[in-house]
């Protein structure tokens, strides 16, 4: 098939008729398929069933240090849980706090704390005339929702093949004291699947912020979420790089086990400098006496160490890999060479990023919904849900069984083709 843009008006009209018939047929099937969010599928959750046997009424509920995990205390988390999460983040346990189940919750609280109380003695953001955040795009919608809720101005930073446009990042961070943070998903990024290059990480570490309370929000959500044993992305460890440049206070690292054990029932952690840690500890000691140490103990007993996590993630990969390969195969077979879309082919993470012709994303997602396929809303991967090109669509292949995923993709490609033909005809 030739590129759609090279077809004559008559050829496009003929193709439009054929695609309309296929679309009406798809709508008539009454399907209800979900590719909306990056949820683990039932097969992944069923795989974790033995997790619940880790603790029972006859278990020893004491940590290695003799702390009774059924009781109050240990604000920073039990030491063995701090080590487990520190190993995931490649930093020292002394630089880690283990919180509750959600790293998103930690990020929200970190922004809220900065708004109300400032950062390590700086002026609370709520007392400033203007607060800005840099947002690599396309990016994670829930990051943007946090800063939007607090009225923080968000600035789009385009993503390149190796990470954010660092010329823009350096220009804003080094010259504008109102810029207080940047959202980053540095490995298998949501939704592009990009992993930041060594050069990008080193340029982050060498930033010279105009604001002393500027922080990098380094959300390493997919650090161990590889799809392949031998084709894995490597990410340079940013905290050590920041230390080399005298910038160790500049970064917050976040991670969790939410897509390793159970979303909503994992453990999450923050890794950062001693100065940052001491300030955060002084605040959260008012907020809580301690987080769920039984869950921390359960995770440590289940995995034993970081090697246990890595071995466990190979089981996840075996379930997810065929789904991602199916996405690539379907898109390549049905859309390759047509000039109406491009997509990522990541080595890990939870998403595939699809770029349609400009001005088509909302139409495609709306058509999919009408045909029974629920997808993440077009525009969600940009601040304020405003994709300036109306082109980016996040495909989330992890949740549906592979048979349903195949059906959903068949409908998706029909919608992409039909929306593209309609757009080309409108522009003639």
**Cβ contact 263:104 at 8 Å:** no
Measured CA distances, 156 to 133, 186, 350, 421 (Å): 9, 16, 22, 30
As a whole number, the mean pLDDT across the chain is: 97
For 251-307, the pLDDT digits (tens) are 999 999 999 999 989 999 999 999 999 999 999 999 999 999 999 999 999 999 999
pTM of the model: 0.96
Residue 8 C-beta-side C-alpha neighbours within 13 Å? 3
* pLDDT tens digits along 19-77: 999 999 999 999 999 999 899 999 999 988 889 899 999 999 999 999 999 999 999 99
Under the banding of pLDDT at 50, 70 and 90, the label for residue 144 is: very high
Q: Reply yes or no on whether the pLDDT at 104 is more than 80.
A: yes
CATH architecture of 4-45+310-427: Alpha-Beta Complex (3.90)
- Closest alpha carbon to 296 in 75, 82, 67: 82
Count CB-CB contacts under 10 A for residue 262.
17
Per domain, the residue ranges of the chain are 4-45+310-427, 62-304
Residues 328 and 395 sit within 8 Å (Cβ to Cβ): no
- CATH fold for domain 62-304: 3.40.640
For 303-412, strand residue ranges (E) read 341-343, 352-356, 373-375, 392-395
């Amino acid at each position: 098939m030739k590129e759609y843009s090279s077809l004559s008006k008559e050829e496009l009209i003929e193709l439009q008729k054929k695609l309309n018939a296929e679309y009406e047929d798809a709508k008539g099937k009454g399907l209800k398929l979900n590719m909306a969010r990056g949820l683990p599928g039932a097969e992944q959750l069923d795989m974790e069933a033995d997790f619940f046997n880790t603790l029972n009424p006859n278990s020893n509920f004491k940590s290695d240090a003799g702390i009774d995990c059924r009781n109050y205390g240990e604000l920073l988390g039990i030491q063995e849980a701090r080590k487990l999460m520190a190993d995931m983040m490649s930093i020292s346990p002394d630089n880690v706090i283990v919180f509750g189940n959600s790293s998103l919750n930690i990020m929200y609280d970190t922004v809220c704390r900065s708004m109300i109380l400032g950062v390590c003695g700086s002026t609370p953001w709520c007392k400033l005339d203007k607060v800005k955040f840099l947002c690599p795009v396309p990016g994670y919608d829930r990051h943007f929702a946090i800063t939007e809720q607090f009225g923080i101005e968000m600035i789009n930073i385009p993503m390149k093949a190796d990470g954010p446009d660092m010329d823009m990042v350096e220009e804003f961070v080094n010259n504008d004291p109102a810029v207080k943070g940047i959202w980053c998903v540095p490995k298998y990024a949501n939704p592009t699947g990009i992993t930041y290059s060594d050069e990008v990480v080193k340029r982050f570490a060498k930033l010279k912020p105009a604001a002393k309370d500027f922080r990098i929000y380094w959300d390493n959500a997919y650090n161990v979420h590889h799809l392949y044993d031998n084709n894995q992305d490597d990410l340079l460890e940013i905290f050590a790089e920041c230390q080399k440049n005298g910038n160790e206070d500049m970064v917050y690292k976040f991670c969790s086990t939410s897509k390793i054990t159970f979303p909503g029932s994992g453990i999450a952690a923050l890794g950062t400098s001693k100065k940052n840690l001491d300030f955060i500890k002084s605040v959260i000691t008012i907020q809580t006496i301690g987080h769920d140490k039984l869950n921390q103990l359960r995770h440590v007993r289940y995995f034993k160490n970081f090697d246990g996590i890595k071995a466990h993630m190979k089981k996840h990969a075996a379930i997810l890999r065929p789904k991602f390969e199916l996405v690539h195969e379907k898109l390549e077979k049905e859309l390759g060479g047509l000039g109406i879309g491009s997509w990522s082919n990541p080595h890990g993470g939870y998403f595939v990023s699809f770029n349609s012709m400009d001005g088509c994303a909302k139409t495609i997602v709306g058509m999919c919904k009408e045909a029974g396929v629920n997808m993440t809303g077009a525009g969600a991967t940009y601040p304020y849900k405003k994709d300036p090109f109306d082109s980016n669509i996040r495909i989330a292949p992890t949740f549906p069984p592979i048979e349903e995923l195949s059906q959903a993709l068949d409908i998706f490609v029909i919608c992409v083709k039909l929306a593209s033909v309609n757009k080309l005809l409108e522009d003639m």
